[in-house]
Structure 1
Amino acid sequence: MKLAFIGLGVMGFPMAGHLSKTGHEICVYNRNPQKAADWVARHGGTHAATPAEAAQGADMVMVCVGNDDDVRAVVYGDEGVLAGIKPGALLVDHTTTSAGLAEELARKAAETGARFIDAPVSGGQLGAENGTLTVMIGGDEADVAEAAPVLAAYGKKVTRLGPVGSGQRCKMVNQICVIGAVQGIAEGLMIAKKAGLDIPTLIEVLAGGAAQSWQLQNRAQTMAEGKFDFGFAAQWMHKDLGICLEEAERLGLTLPLTEHVHQVYEQLLAEGYGRCDSTVVIKSLES
């Protein structure tokens, strides 16, 4: 197939790299042209000057950028994906956005004769690099079935949740569960450290019981050591939780834990911790 990949950040760069190993013809675009040139130098393929140019002739166009506004910036307009996409092509958005934007994109794509699925991912930078992401998809069954074998290049688990928007809503649930675990670990570590418990032994013991989680096994030690120069940035988790709260308000729900942790991130961002790993929430307890 002929593919286009828009957005070569910490997630998109390795994701597009996995596609390059599958024999597809790939054209990439990044707002920083040097990043696109670096990708081509490493993986082959071509890079384009605009998203529209990258999308021309592509059977599938993947987008992986920052937020709703970033998606609109690369999809709409004279130089956007929809200006170059061919009728019948499939637009796949891997960005974590609002479900409302996913539904909007589906309508806009249909106006050009193209198709759309929302496919946010979970697994972080490490999952992208190792090709072990979880891909949560909303869209038509036939469209998802067509995309799944391609997305398997970087998705260990590729699953349709329902119609367009369902993938984004699943990602909201994912992020709420993640921050619930992280906040709990942070508070538990405060007791452990004050009580003088040995943290590696603590983690080993907890990992064998009901408290076991990916966050515990992969982040508790680094949280205890105050290491946050890696992983999923706090500023992006803050953005994602804002999306969760907007959706909750639309549904008439109140999410106390999500609201609290969102406010914690807001303060941490103001203190300059935005690029730190999202487990930096423990700093709000230490201070």
Structure 2
Amino acid sequence: MKVSFIGLGVMGYPMAGHLVKAGFDVSVFNRTTEKAQRWANEYAGQYAETVAECVKDADVVAVCVGNDDDVRQMTTAEYGAIAAMKQGAILVDHTTTSASLAEELGKACEEAGIRFMDAPVSGGQAGAENGVLTIMCGGDEAVFNELQSVFDAYGKSSVLMGTVGQGQRAKMVNQVCIAGVLTGLSEGLLLAQKSGLDIPALVDCLKNGAAGSWQMENRAKTMDQDKYDFGFAIDWMIKDLGFCLDEADKQGITLPLTEQSIERYKQLSADGEGRSDTSVLFKAVRQDAEQ
């Protein structure tokens, strides 16, 4: 199977590498050609200088870029992937986008005789590097089944959530839950600090109980040390939570905690923390509590 991978950021770079290790014939494209060349040298793969060249013979084309407009530029634009893909090939979008964009891509692919799967991922940079991502999928079951060997290369779990768009909606729930868990963890950690508790001992005590979470086990100790350089930047979280609030509005509901979280992240970004990871929410919670 020939697989093309578009977008070699902190997620896409190792994901494409895992495909080579799994035995796929892989070609990559990145808007910065130098990075594509570096990837090709590192993984003994191929790179192309245009999207069309990258995808022309591919059975599967995976995209993992920044936002809705980036995805459109790589897929539906005049020189994007859809116009150059062969009939019957599969386009997979691993970018976290709006559900409406997923539905837009699904229609564009259908008109072009191409199959489509929206498939945002969770697990962060570490998950991508270790090949243990969670993949939330929206699309046809037959296409999902056909993609399993691809997903297995960099994923620990892939789940079909429903029709096109449902993968992105599942990712929205994921981001809402992360923000909520980090808010509770931040308040608990602040109370623990002020009470003089030993934070590493506290985490080891709580992590396997009802309060345990991935965030507690992987971020509480570094939050206590005010270290926030662990991958997923809050500027991306602001984008993702914006999708969540837009979807909530379409569903006629409000998400007060998510609204509070995005405002805190926006203030942190304005204060120069835009590239810090999501656990930096602790700084905002601490500041609010101490005022």
State the TM-score, normalized to the length of structure 1: 0.98
Q: Contact conserved, 1:53 with 1:79, CA < 8 A, in 2? A: no
- 2:168 is aligned to 168
Matched, 1:34 2:38: no
Deviation at 1:286, TM superposition (A): 2.9
Deviation at 1:258, TM superposition (A): 0.4
Q: How far, CA to CA, are the matches of 1:70 and 1:53 in structure 2?
A: 18
Q: Which amino acid aligns with 2:209?
A: G
Q: How far, CA to CA, are the matches of 1:157 and 1:77 in structure 2?
A: 31
Q: Which amino acid aligns with 2:150?
A: V
- 1:92 is aligned to 92
Greater than 4 Å deviation, 4+ residue runs: none
Query: Is there any run of 5+ residues in structure 1 with no aligned partner, and where?
Result: none
- 1:202 is aligned to 202
Q: Secondary structure at the match of 1:18?
A: helix
Matched, 1:227 2:193: no
- 2:69 is aligned to 69
Name the % identity.
Answer: 56
Q: Contact conserved, 1:119 with 1:136, CA < 8 A, in 2? A: yes
- 1:211 is aligned to 211
Q: Contact conserved, 2:63 with 2:94, CA < 8 A, in 1? A: yes
State how many pairs are aligned: 287
1:48-98 deviation per Cα after TM superposition (whole angstroms, max 9, x unaligned): 112122110100000000111110111122321112111100000000001
1:176-231 deviation per Cα after TM superposition (whole angstroms, max 9, x unaligned): 11111111111111111111111011111111321011110000011111001122
Q: Contact conserved, 2:187 with 2:286, CA < 8 A, in 1? A: no
Q: How far, CA to CA, are the matches of 1:70 and 1:50 in structure 2?
A: 15
Query: Is there any run of 5+ residues in structure 2 with no aligned partner, and where?
Result: none
- 1:159 is aligned to 159
Q: Which amino acid aligns with 2:154?
A: Y
Q: Secondary structure at the match of 1:152?
A: helix
Q: How far, CA to CA, are the matches of 1:42 and 1:208 in structure 2?
A: 39
What is the root-mean-square deviation in Å for CA atoms of aligned residues? 0.8
Q: How far, CA to CA, are the matches of 1:201 and 1:175 in structure 2?
A: 28
1:259-285 deviation per Cα after TM superposition (whole angstroms, max 9, x unaligned): 000110111111111100111011113
Q: Which amino acid aligns with 1:43?
A: Y
Q: Which amino acid aligns with 1:257?
A: L
Deviation at 1:158, TM superposition (A): 1.1
Q: Secondary structure at the match of 2:52?
A: helix
Q: Secondary structure at the match of 1:62?
A: strand
Q: Contact conserved, 1:238 with 1:265, CA < 8 A, in 2? A: yes
